[in-house]
Amino acid sequence: MKREEKASISIMKIICVSIILILISGISVMAVNTDLKDITIILQNGYEMTALTSRSKVSDILSENNIILNEDQKTIPDLDSEISSGDTIKITDKSYNEVQIAKISEEGIETSLDQLLENYAPITEKIVVEQVVIPYETITKNTTGTSTDTTNKVVQEGKDGLKEVTYKIKYQNDVEIEKSVISEVVVQEPVDKIVQVQKKATSRASTLPRTSSASSTGGTVYKITAYCPCSKCCGKTNGRTASGTTATAGRTVAASSKFAFGTKLNIGGHVYTVEDRGGAINGNKIDIFVNTHAEALQWGVRYLNVSVVN
């Protein structure tokens, strides 16, 4: 019995040693198959950390080390790059410019250290609001027909407008490299300068035709337009005026409320009667009634002397 017991113990020892040898061999194989890399990770704030990893892809290494990039951050090399042991992953701002340096080096251009540092400089952005002048326009109105004996009269002085323009400006080394418009807001509309070309005054009585019974008091230059009984001009087609009369070409005009209904106006030598109003008729503006829309368009805009007839 003692011999059998000794033989059994010897077999158990052999089995245990064999199992241990197998485990050691397996661990050795795993260690050989697992290619661990020593990687340096530099965070944006300059902090450096060392990571021991079996991963090769930059994004996998960051994920393995619980590092999440912000929207304005990037890595050098990029997230899809494969790296080797001893390599460095740098986390930096997206505006960090390294491509230009690489191009300079690859092309073999001789450059100084200052030039290299200049290309490495980050790009900054600023929102800037500037006030920009809107120049006024000069409009010339000729009321003399084919006459050559004319003179110019400034009916309305021009005035520049003003707008605020919001720009996004990019700087590198305090030098502006890009400027784009974000929005424009008009602060003050420009006022057009209006110049009327008219006949020179003579010692004779006024050449403007006048009704024999008409006399005028004073005289002011008004902006004279024309309208007809169509819906485009007055929104209705019945030809009824605001005073209740039927609009008549050669007689009816629409004027602001400073002229009472029935007031006689001498407009460019012809006497009209104020019988109508209009939403756009205010200030120094008067609308003369004509029969058709074509006549209204042909009339256009004229600047004529207007006076009240007694």
Q: Are the C-beta atoms of residues 44 and 67 closer than 8 Å to each other?
A: no
Q: Are the C-beta atoms of residues 247 and 289 closer than 8 Å to each other?
A: yes
Does 2 or 74 have the greater pLDDT score? 74
Q: Specify the pLDDT at position 202.
A: 53
Give a yes or no: residue 211 inside a domain. yes
Rounded Cα distance between 49 and 90, Å, is 11
CATH number at residue 269: 2.40.40.10
List the single range of 140-154, 204-218, 227-241 with lowest mean pLDDT. 204-218
Q: Closest Cα partner for 277 from 241, 240, 232?
A: 241
Give a yes or no: residue 117 inside a domain. no
Give a yes or no: residue 114 inside a domain. no
Instruction: Please check the confidence at residue 174 and state whether its pLDDT lies above 50.
Output: yes
Instruction: Note whether 3 and 67 are same-domain residues.
Output: no
Instruction: Please check the confidence at residue 51 and state whether its pLDDT lies above 80.
Output: yes
CATH number at residue 47: 3.10.20.90
Instruction: Please check the confidence at residue 104 and state whether its pLDDT lies above 80.
Output: no
Report the pLDDT averaged over residues 238-252: 88
Give a yes or no: residue 118 inside a domain. no
Rounded Cα distance between 140 and 21, Å, is 108
| Stretch (H or E) spanning 63 | helix 58-64
Q: How far apart, in Å, do the first and last CA atoms of the chain sit?
A: 155
pTM of the model: 0.33
Task: With cut-offs at 50, 70 and 90, classify the pLDDT of residue 196.
Answer: confident
Provide the domain count of the chain.
Answer: 4
Rounded Cα distance between 290 and 173, Å, is 67
Q: How many CA atoms lie within 13 A of 71 on its CB side?
A: 0
Instruction: Note whether 223 and 289 are same-domain residues.
Output: yes
Tell the burial category of 27 from Cβ atoms under 10 Å away from its Cβ (0-12, 13-18, 19+): exposed
Q: Are the C-beta atoms of residues 206 and 220 closer than 8 Å to each other?
A: no
Q: Specify the pLDDT at position 189.
A: 87
Tell how strand 252-254 and strand 216-227 pair up. unpaired
The boundaries of the domain holding residue 89 are 37-93
Q: Specify the pLDDT at position 109.
A: 52
Residue 99: which residues within 8 A CB-CB, separation 6 or more? none
Give a yes or no: residue 120 inside a domain. no
Instruction: Note whether 254 and 164 are same-domain residues.
Output: no
Give a yes or no: residue 111 inside a domain. no
Q: Closest Cα partner for 227 from 214, 237, 213, 217?
A: 237
Rounded Cα distance between 131 and 118, Å, is 32
Q: List residues bridging with 274 in a β-sheet.
A: 253
List the single range of 63-77, 195-209, 243-257, 281-295 with lowest mean pLDDT. 195-209
Tell how strand 252-254 and strand 88-93 pair up. unpaired
Give a yes or no: residue 219 inside a domain. yes
| Stretch (H or E) spanning 307 | strand 302-309
CATH number at residue 145: 2.20.230.10
Q: Tell me which of 196, 215, 249 is where a domain ends.
A: 196
Q: Are the C-beta atoms of residues 265 and 285 closer than 8 Å to each other?
A: no
